[in-house]
Amino acid sequence: MRREPARTVGTSPLPAADAVSPVERRRRAYFHRRLGAWFRRAGRHDLPWQRDRRGYAVWVSEIMLQQTTVETVRGYYGGFLRRFPTVRALAEANLDEVLALWSGLGYYRRAHHLHRAARLVVARHGGRLPRREEDLGALPGIGPSTAGAIASLAYDRPAVVLDTNVRRVLTRYWRDMHRHLGGGERALWALARWLLPEEGGRAHTQALMDLGALVCRPRDPGCPRCPLVADCPGPSGEGAPRRPKADSERRRRRMTLLLFRDRQGRVLLERRSSRGIWAGLWCLPEAEGSASVSVGSAGPGLLARRLHRLSHLDLEICLLAAHPLPPPGRSGRGRRWASARERARLGLPPIVRAMLESLPVT
Ligand code: SF4
């Protein structure tokens, strides 16, 4: 562990990791041996994003996989890469086209960052994604862990990755060592760096990710079939399974959207703020204050109502027919009239698109 150079997460220096006992060094070797054998036998080796190891393709997949399941990303990754096969193609694209392809993946700030970062890569690096973690981390939307994932998965370099799956494995199996280093975030980075192999960064990263995703799962860890079970203290403390939130504990929010139509049947769309739900997407204008309707009402003007379940809250969406034309939008927001054909090329939240398509004539 003395070979660990000082590094920073943000601006915080990591603790020196010394005084590692021979027992822990042997445990580290055991960890690598068992994890590597399990990965070769049972890891994931045929995910769509494992067929293209270019830095750009890995970067796109890592951003898509943030807070999104593998199964969901499968439906988006291929289409995105076909339309934007290179950094330059993404940089030259219109943001609306990027958001339209991202529509349904959620967390839309990721798409904004990806697009902005692609333009910076063209401007600063001639269209080639940098290889050094420091340069990657200077781009919008790429934090230290994502930079490490790109460096290891694309370039096979030993680099620290601490996504939620890896964190869980490390805080469970290496619980005592984590505490020995002082606990918390900086100690976890020091631990992860100590565990890096001299070479084979890609396999090490992918093995940790896969073990966390397939075996050492958050709520129901499969310890009996885990390659590390012989000397793992088990899921307790920081890595203990968390109780899922009951429906009654989930946040609820009501949103009222307004449908304005012009004589050609086009509907009025408003660009949403770059923060919050559906960041930067085109949407129907949202009513504020008195225009909202109560739950259970079916009053005049109510066209549709849907319950939309997001990862962090339940959204009840009411769609109201509205007139006359609304006052100008809040500052900084664009507005446009859009026919059904034009809407097909714009990034709209899928639930709003579905509500519009369910109406008799829009
Ligand atoms: S033995 Fe259980 S808690 Fe320990 S790493 Fe394996 S699955 Fe996770």
> In ligand 1, which atom is closest to the CA atom of 221?
7
Range(s) of the chain covered by CATH 1.10.340.30: 8-239
- Report which of 201, 116, 213, 90 is spatially closest to residue 154, judged by C-alpha positions: 201
Can 62 be counted among the known catalytic residues? yes
pLDDT band at 21 (very low <50, low <70, confident <90, very high): confident
Structure confidence at residue 172 (pLDDT): 96
Beta carbons of 258 and 288 less than 8 angstroms apart = no
Q: What angle do CA 322, 327, 330 make, to 5 degrees?
A: 110
- Say which CATH class 8-239 falls into: mainly alpha
Span 303-341, pLDDT tens digits: 889 998 887 788 999 999 887 666 555 544 689 999 999
Structure confidence at residue 63 (pLDDT): 98
CA of 190 to the centre of ligand 1 (A): 21
Is the preceding omega at residue 285 within 30 degrees of 0, hence cis? no
Structure confidence at residue 213 (pLDDT): 96
CA distance 196 to 161: 10
Q: Quick one: average pLDDT of 197-218?
A: 96
Write out the two tokens for 353.
């698109």
CA distance 33 to 199: 14
Range(s) of the chain covered by CATH 3.90.79.10: 247-357
- Exposed, middle or buried by CB within 10 Å (0-12, 13-18, 19+), for 142? buried
> What residues pair up with 318 in beta bridges, in sequence order?
256, 305
Residue from 167, 168, 177, 215 to probe ligand 1 pocket by mutation (most atoms less than 8 Å from CB): 215
CA distance 310 to 252: 10
DSSP letter at 238 equals G
**Strands 251-259, 267-271: parallel, antiparallel or unpaired by DSSP?**
unpaired
140 lines ligand 1 (CB under 6 A): no
Question: Average per-residue pLDDT in the chain?
Answer: 87
pLDDT band at 18 (very low <50, low <70, confident <90, very high): low
Q: Which residues contact 30 (CB under 8 A, 6 or more apart)?
A: 231
CA distance 235 to 255: 40
CA of 166 to the centre of ligand 1 (A): 12
CATH fold group of domain 247-357? Nucleoside Triphosphate Pyrophosphohydrolase (3.90.79)
Question: What is the pTM assigned to this prediction?
Answer: 0.82
Span 262-298, pLDDT tens digits: 888 899 999 998 888 898 899 999 987 544 444 444 4
CA of 168 to the centre of ligand 1 (A): 9
> What residues pair up with 321 in beta bridges, in sequence order?
259
**Strands 8-9, 12-13: parallel, antiparallel or unpaired by DSSP?**
antiparallel
